[in-house]
């Protein structure tokens, strides 16, 4: 270990401490995954208890997404004024109250309102947690650390699928919702002892406090001094600008980062991932599976999501964000095209249910191991400090707005086009996403946040103008 590595009150090595910080903060991702994914197993019970048609089911399902758009935008003010850590604690409190309200809902409108409030916490956590981890992480490990959030989402989705399967016989949907209060409280308590963001501290003229934080997560004092100096230089430039925040986002030099980041956010959801998670049991029942078999198959899809996001976490710093997306999206397109053909033309006969499951799992392999790993990570890296809070809010709002659009229309689209036609539509959206990333999204692996910002200033941000960085080698 480097000689200055142990300036740490808790005696943890910097890498270990940083991993602990990322793990605790990423609990918010598990809440997001569980609270959005649990509707898959709970919706049949809810529809039966409240006698809901398919449009009412869409409303209950999509209410959390509408809340997430609002939460993503409103949390920008809190994160800028109070800091990342305090905002995460507020989000954890909202999670706790909202899941209990949903569990106690006396009717569908109350349930939709509770899920809207739950969405505020979901949107807030997705706006702030990746940024919090990214602002603490060393550049060469930033991808693997930020994607703890993705892995935690996968764990939450898997737990939701497990509870959905068990709940078919053992639990009511109210217990399925209410159990999430436990990790919500644990997140709130865990964040009390964690450090603040050093970049936020420097931005608020507290460089000594920022240096103290960085000493816990960097190996040497030289690294700490260099980063603090870099941050102070960037803050100095911000102070010289006539506009900051939302108004600053209109400046031409920021446009490439906003287009790239918001585009990735949109295609992360327009690729169809959340819609698949929410409605897999419904699609499988339409394909001939019984209710129990459909839930077990949804569990397999959730396991695939978790495994592939973990694999993506392990390789994203070496392969690169842009390259990983470009390699994986074609596999997702192929899976959706085949799935659409199987369903539309009834190609597999009696084996159709198993072809459907196979295509869904293949889609999950390529989608969750590719653009899903990159979506939140890109937002945490690509925006300059002067607009980071506001841009991250817009990033999360774009992601949740796209999710709301897709999920809120999924059952209507499948009724209009058939499930097969809907799969072809989503394949086309994946193809558009590949073209967008190829043309407009640069590689950010192994680069400091300040270096990415300089590339914008120097006009070398876009892929065709960028000096290709060397992948980090362990």
Tokens of residue 387, six digits: 């607009």
The answer to whether residue 442 is domain-embedded is yes
Helix, strand or coil for residue 369? coil
Give the pLDDT confidence score for residue 102 in this predicted structure: 92
Look up the CATH number of the domain holding residue 350.
Answer: 1.20.1250.20
Nearest CA to 353 out of 286, 427, 275, 305 is that of 286
The answer to whether residue 204 is domain-embedded is no
The answer to whether residue 8 is domain-embedded is no
CA distance 233 to 252: 21
Nearest CA to 261 out of 423, 363, 451, 391 is that of 391
Which residues are CB-neighbours of 163 under 8 A, at least 6 positions away?
38, 41, 171, 176, 179
The answer to whether residue 226 is domain-embedded is no
pLDDT, one tens digit per residue, over 286-336 is 666 666 666 677 778 778 888 998 898 889 989 999 999 999 999 999 999
What are the residue ranges of helices labelled H in 241-287?
245-248, 255-270, 273-286
The answer to whether residue 201 is domain-embedded is no
Taking 50 as the threshold, does the pLDDT of residue 2 lie above it?
no
Given phi > 0 = left and psi -120 to 50 = alpha, else beta, which region is 462? beta
Q: Are 269 and 406 in contact (CB under 8 A)?
A: yes
Give the pLDDT confidence score for residue 338 in this predicted structure: 93
pLDDT, one tens digit per residue, over 264-281 is 999 998 888 766 766 666
Give the pLDDT confidence score for residue 244 in this predicted structure: 66
CA distance 412 to 419: 10
Single pTM value for the model: 0.78
The answer to whether residue 377 is domain-embedded is yes
- The number of distinct structural domains making up the chain is 1
The answer to whether residue 340 is domain-embedded is yes
Cβ burial 275-292 (10 Å sphere, 16+ → b, else e): bbbbbbbbbbbebebeee
Which residues are CB-neighbours of 428 under 8 A, at least 6 positions away?
none
CA distance 449 to 440: 18
Neighbours of 141 (CB within 10 A): 18
Instruction: For residues 158-167, give the mean pLDDT.
Output: 78
The answer to whether residue 344 is domain-embedded is yes
Give the pLDDT confidence score for residue 279 in this predicted structure: 63
Cβ burial 359-393 (10 Å sphere, 16+ → b, else e): bbbbbbbbbbbbbbbbbbbbbbbbbbbbbbbbbbb
From the centroid of its chain, how far is CA 278? 16
Instruction: For residues 379-396, give the mean pLDDT.
Output: 85
Q: Are 163 and 43 in contact (CB under 8 A)?
A: no
From the centroid of its chain, how far is CA 275? 14
Q: Are 277 and 34 in contact (CB under 8 A)?
A: no
Instruction: For residues 240-251, give the mean pLDDT.
Output: 74
Domain of 182, in residue numbers: 14-196+241-465
């Amino acid at each position: 270990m480097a000689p200055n590595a142990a300036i740490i009150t808790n005696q943890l090595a910097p890498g270990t401490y940083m991993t602990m910080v990322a793990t605790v903060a990423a609990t918010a991702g598990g809440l997001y995954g569980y609270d959005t994914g649990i509707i898959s197993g709970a919706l049949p019970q809810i529809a039966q208890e409240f006698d809901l048609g398919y449009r009412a089911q869409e409303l209950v399902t999509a209410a959390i997404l509408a809340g997430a758009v609002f939460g993503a935008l409103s949390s920008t003010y809190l994160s800028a004024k109070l800091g990342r850590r305090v905002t995460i604690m507020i989000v954890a409190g909202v999670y706790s109250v909202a899941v209990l309200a949903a569990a106690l809902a006396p009717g569908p409108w109350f349930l939709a309102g509770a899920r809207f409030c739950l969405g505020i916490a979901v949107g807030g956590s997705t706006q702030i947690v990746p940024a919090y981890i990214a602002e603490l992480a060393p550049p060469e490990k930033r991808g693997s650390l930020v994607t703890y959030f993705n892995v935690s989402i996968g764990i939450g989705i898997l737990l939701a699928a497990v509870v959905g399967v068990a709940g078919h016989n053992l639990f009511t949907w109210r217990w399925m919702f209410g159990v999430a209060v436990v990790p919500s409280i644990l997140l709130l308590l865990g964040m009390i002892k964690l450090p603040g963001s050093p970049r936020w501290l420097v931005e608020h003229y507290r460089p000594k406090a920022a240096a103290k934080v960085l000493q816990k997560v960097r190996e040497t004092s030289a690294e700490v001094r260099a980063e603090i100096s870099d941050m102070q230089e960037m803050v100095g430039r911000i102070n010289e600008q006539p506009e900051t925040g939302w108004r600053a986002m209109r400046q031409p030099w920021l446009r490439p980062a906003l287009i790239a980041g918001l585009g990735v956010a949109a295609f992360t959801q327009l690729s169809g991932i959340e819609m698949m998670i929410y409605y897999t049991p419904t699609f499988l029942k339409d394909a001939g599976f019984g209710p129990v078999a459909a839930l077990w198959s949804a569990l397999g899809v959730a396991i695939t999501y978790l495994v592939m996001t973990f694999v993506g976490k392990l390789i994203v710093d070496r392969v690169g964000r842009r390259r990983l997306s470009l390699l994986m999206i074609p596999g997702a397109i192929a899976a959706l095209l085949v799935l659409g053909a199987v369903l539309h033309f009834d190609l597999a006969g009696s084996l159709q249910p198993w072809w459907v499951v196979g295509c869904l799992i293949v889609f999950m392999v390529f989608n969750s191991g590719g653009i899903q790993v990159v979506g939140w990570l890109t937002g945490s890296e690509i925006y300059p400090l002067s607009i980071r809070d506001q841009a991250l809010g817009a990033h999360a709002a774009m992601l949740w707005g796209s999710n709301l659009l897709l999920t809120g229309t999924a059952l209507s689209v499948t009724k209009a086009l058939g499930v097969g036609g809907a799969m072809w539509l989503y394949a086309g959206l994946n193809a558009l996403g590949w073209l967008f990333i190829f043309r407009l999204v640069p590689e950010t692996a192994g680069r400091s946040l300040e270096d990415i910002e300089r590339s914008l200033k120097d006009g070398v941000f876009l892929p065709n103008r960028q000096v290709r960085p060397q992948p980090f080698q362990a």
